[in-house]
Chains A and B, each alone.
Chain A
Amino acid sequence: MSRGAGPGPARSRVAIVRGSIDPGEVLALVGGAGDGAVLLFLGTVRDHADGRRVDGLRYEAYQEMAEGVLGTIADEAAGQIGSDRIAVVHRIGDLAIGEVSVAIAVSSPHRAEAYQASRYVIEEIKKRLPVWKLEQYVDGEAAWVAGRKLEAIAEPKEMAR
């Protein structure tokens, strides 16, 4: 598990991986004696999309950029809640139904901050991470999921720290 190339505080840990994600391993990256809340979010592959039966997903990333963006998002979340204990792993490649595509672990002294940071990270991933998803349907067809257009950020995104 290595940290992404993004700038910022050193303790948020992020990775884009090809192999399966072990949630316990991600969870083990956070936590501490001062933390009363540890939260794990898993995004998993579901068997349907817009009424079609899905057989599996293929994720593709602009890897060199995605690791930096993931690091920036994690650092922003860390800054907002004042906890640096955030770990984010996103998987790419071919995933079967039920497999974990993304894992977000956060720990903080109290639960509200952990929920806030976890939610922030997943929502920003959906807006900003250069990752694409090919849905492979049971009927043999496949289609790239219509996603969200990336926006140029005129000024560096405001950081809470």
Chain B
Amino acid sequence: MQVRTLFFAAYRDALGTATLEVDLPEGSSVGELVTRLRSRGSPFDRLPESPAVAVNRSVVRGDARLSHGDEIAFLPPVAGG
């Protein structure tokens, strides 16, 4: 299955990209996606091991399961206001 990942702010700057399409085995979890990305090495290993992640605009835990077509946003610690 394929998912669309989004990177914001410091993560986007570290990776040099704002979006990336990623192929994953069916039923992969958020944590498995993070591990898979980090295993690509530099610069993806600059992502934290357990970043805050939103799937389809809701923040979820690392064990949340992904589906084809999900929008997965990697969210650095927030600083609004």
Interface residues of A (CB under 8 A from B): 43, 59-62, 64-66, 68, 90, 101-102, 122, 125-134, 144-154
Secondary structure of the B contact surface, majority rule: mixed
Q: List 25 A-B contacts (CB under 8 A).
A: A60-B9, A64-B57, A65-B54, A125-B80, A126-B81, A130-B75, A130-B78, A131-B78, A131-B79, A132-B8, A132-B80, A144-B10, A144-B13, A144-B76, A144-B79, A147-B76, A147-B77, A147-B78, A147-B79, A148-B78, A150-B59, A150-B77, A150-B78, A152-B52, A154-B61
- With a CB–CB cut-off of 8 A, which chain B residues contact A149? 52, 77
Point out the residue from A90, A134, A146 that lies within 8 Å of B80, measured CB to CB.
A90
Tell me the chain B residues, 41-67 only, with Cβ under 8 Å from chain A. 52, 54, 57, 59-61, 64
Q: How many interface contacts (CB-CB < 8 Å) are there between A and B?
A: 86
Q: Closest A-chain residue to B55, C-beta based?
A: A152
Secondary structure of the A contact surface, majority rule: mixed
| CB of B18 to closest CB in A, whole Å | 10
Known: A130-B8, A134-B9, A150-B59. A65 touches B81 (CB 8 A): no
A101 to B78, CA, bound (A): 15
- With a CB–CB cut-off of 8 A, which chain B residues contact A61? 80
- With a CB–CB cut-off of 8 A, which chain B residues contact A64? 57
Say if the beta carbon of B73 comes within 8 Å of chain A. yes
A128 to B6, CA, bound (A): 18
Q: Is the CB of A148 within 8 A of B61?
A: no
A98 to B62, CA, bound (A): 40
A66 to B73, CA, bound (A): 12
- With a CB–CB cut-off of 8 A, which chain B residues contact A122? 81
Q: Closest B-chain residue to A16, C-beta based?
A: B80
- With a CB–CB cut-off of 8 A, which chain B residues contact A129? 78, 80-81
Q: Closest A-chain residue to B80, C-beta based?
A: A131
